[in-house]
Protein backbone atom coordinates (compact mmCIF):
# COMPACT_ATOMS: atom_id res chain seq x y z
CA UNK A 1 0.00 0.00 0.00
CA UNK A 2 1.11 3.55 -0.63
CA UNK A 3 2.32 5.78 2.19
CA UNK A 4 4.10 9.04 2.90
CA UNK A 5 6.62 9.96 5.56
CA UNK A 6 7.13 13.56 6.61
CA UNK A 7 10.55 14.13 8.13
CA UNK A 8 10.32 16.44 11.11
CA UNK A 9 7.14 17.04 13.05
CA UNK A 10 8.23 20.61 13.79
CA UNK A 11 10.24 23.02 11.66
CA UNK A 12 11.20 26.51 12.76
CA UNK A 13 12.56 29.20 10.44
CA UNK A 14 13.17 32.91 10.64
CA UNK A 15 11.09 35.32 8.60
CA UNK A 16 12.69 35.69 5.18
CA UNK A 17 14.54 32.36 5.37
CA UNK A 18 14.08 29.37 3.10
CA UNK A 19 11.29 26.97 3.99
CA UNK A 20 11.96 23.27 3.31
CA UNK A 21 9.43 20.64 4.41
CA UNK A 22 10.33 17.07 3.56
CA UNK A 23 8.08 14.32 2.25
CA UNK A 24 9.04 10.88 1.01
CA UNK A 25 6.58 8.47 -0.50
CA UNK A 26 6.28 4.77 -0.99
CA UNK A 27 4.27 3.47 -3.92
CA UNK A 28 4.30 0.50 -6.26
CA UNK A 29 3.01 2.56 -9.18
CA UNK A 30 3.44 6.20 -10.19
CA UNK A 31 1.60 8.19 -7.55
CA UNK A 32 -0.30 11.42 -7.34
CA UNK A 33 1.12 13.64 -4.62
CA UNK A 34 -0.36 16.56 -2.73
CA UNK A 35 0.56 19.17 -0.18
CA UNK A 36 -2.15 20.60 2.05
CA UNK A 37 -1.92 23.42 4.60
CA UNK A 38 -3.96 23.70 7.79
CA UNK A 39 -4.24 26.98 9.66
CA UNK A 40 -5.36 26.90 13.31
CA UNK A 41 -8.97 25.80 13.80
CA UNK A 42 -9.49 25.36 10.08
CA UNK A 43 -9.76 22.52 7.61
CA UNK A 44 -7.06 21.53 5.17
CA UNK A 45 -6.53 23.58 2.03
CA UNK A 46 -4.88 22.26 -1.11
CA UNK A 47 -1.51 23.97 -1.72
CA UNK A 48 -0.39 22.08 -4.80
CA UNK A 49 -0.47 18.71 -6.48
CA UNK A 50 1.71 16.54 -8.71
CA UNK A 51 -0.16 14.62 -11.39
CA UNK A 52 2.76 13.69 -13.70
CA UNK A 53 2.43 16.68 -16.03
CA UNK A 54 5.54 18.44 -14.70
CA UNK A 55 8.03 17.50 -12.00
CA UNK A 56 8.24 21.04 -10.59
CA UNK A 57 4.87 22.11 -9.33
CA UNK A 58 3.96 25.63 -8.28
CA UNK A 59 1.22 26.24 -5.78
CA UNK A 60 -0.45 29.05 -3.91
CA UNK A 61 1.29 31.55 -1.62
CA UNK A 62 4.67 31.14 -3.35
CA UNK A 63 5.16 27.47 -2.47
CA UNK A 64 6.50 24.89 -4.88
CA UNK A 65 7.43 21.22 -4.77
CA UNK A 66 9.60 19.00 -6.94
CA UNK A 67 8.83 15.38 -7.69
CA UNK A 68 12.02 13.30 -7.68
CA UNK A 69 11.35 9.73 -8.63
CA UNK A 70 14.92 8.58 -7.97
CA UNK A 71 14.69 9.84 -4.39
CA UNK A 72 10.96 9.05 -3.94
CA UNK A 73 10.58 12.56 -2.61
CA UNK A 74 8.19 15.48 -2.96
CA UNK A 75 9.66 18.21 -0.75
CA UNK A 76 7.86 21.52 -0.31
CA UNK A 77 9.84 24.76 -0.53
CA UNK A 78 9.37 28.50 -0.35
CA UNK A 79 12.30 30.89 -0.91
CA UNK A 80 11.33 33.39 1.78
CA UNK A 81 9.16 32.61 4.79
CA UNK A 82 6.44 34.98 5.89
CA UNK A 83 4.79 35.11 9.29
CA UNK A 84 1.51 34.11 7.67
CA UNK A 85 3.07 30.78 6.58
CA UNK A 86 2.94 29.48 10.15
CA UNK A 87 0.64 26.46 9.95
CA UNK A 88 0.65 22.69 9.77
CA UNK A 89 1.49 21.10 6.44
CA UNK A 90 0.44 17.66 5.27
CA UNK A 91 1.81 15.59 2.44
CA UNK A 92 -0.57 13.07 0.87
CA UNK A 93 -0.41 10.35 -1.78
CA UNK A 94 -3.07 8.67 -3.85
CA UNK A 95 -2.96 6.14 -6.67
CA UNK A 96 -5.90 5.39 -8.88
CA UNK A 97 -8.65 7.11 -6.97
CA UNK A 98 -9.27 9.40 -4.04
CA UNK A 99 -10.38 6.53 -1.82
CA UNK A 100 -6.73 5.49 -1.71
CA UNK A 101 -5.54 8.83 -0.34
CA UNK A 102 -3.04 8.51 2.50
CA UNK A 103 -1.77 11.42 4.60
CA UNK A 104 1.49 11.98 6.39
CA UNK A 105 1.59 12.82 10.09
CA UNK A 106 2.09 16.51 9.39
CA UNK A 107 4.82 19.12 9.94
CA UNK A 108 4.16 22.18 12.04
CA UNK A 109 5.95 25.24 10.67
CA UNK A 110 6.83 28.08 13.02
CA UNK A 111 8.10 31.38 11.62
CA UNK A 112 10.14 33.56 13.97
CA UNK A 113 10.27 37.34 13.55
Partner 1 sequence: DAGITQSPRHKVTETGTPVTLRCHQTENHRYMYWYRQDPGHGLRLIHYSYGVKDTDKGEVSDGYSVSRSKTEDFLLTLESATSSQTSVYFCAISGTELGDYGYTFGSGTRLTVV
Q: Which residues bind partner 1 (CB under 8 A)?
A: 9, 32, 34, 36, 41-46, 49, 51-52, 90, 94-101, 103-106
Which of 14, 58 has the CB closer to partner 1?
A: 58
Shortest Cβ 93–partner 1 spacing (Å): 9
Which of 63, 90 has the CB closer to partner 1?
A: 90
Residue of 70, 68, 61, 71 whose CA lies nearest to 109: 61
Shortest Cβ 1–partner 1 spacing (Å): 9
C-alpha to C-alpha distances, 26 to 13, 48, 55, nearest whole angstrom:
28, 19, 17
Shortest Cβ 14–partner 1 spacing (Å): 26
Q: Give the number of C-alpha atoms closer than 13 A to the C-alpha of residue 39, restricted to the C-beta side.
A: 7
Which of 12, 80 has the CB closer to partner 1?
A: 12
Report how far residue 50's alpha carbon sits from residue 34's, in angstroms, rounded to the nearest whole number: 6
Residue 51's contacts (CB-CB under 8 Å, 6 or more residues apart) are 32
Which of 14, 42 has the CB closer to partner 1?
A: 42
Amino acid sequence: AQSVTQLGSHVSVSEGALVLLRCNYSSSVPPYLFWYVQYPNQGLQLLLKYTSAATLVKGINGFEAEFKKSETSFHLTKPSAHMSDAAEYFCAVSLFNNNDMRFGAGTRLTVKP
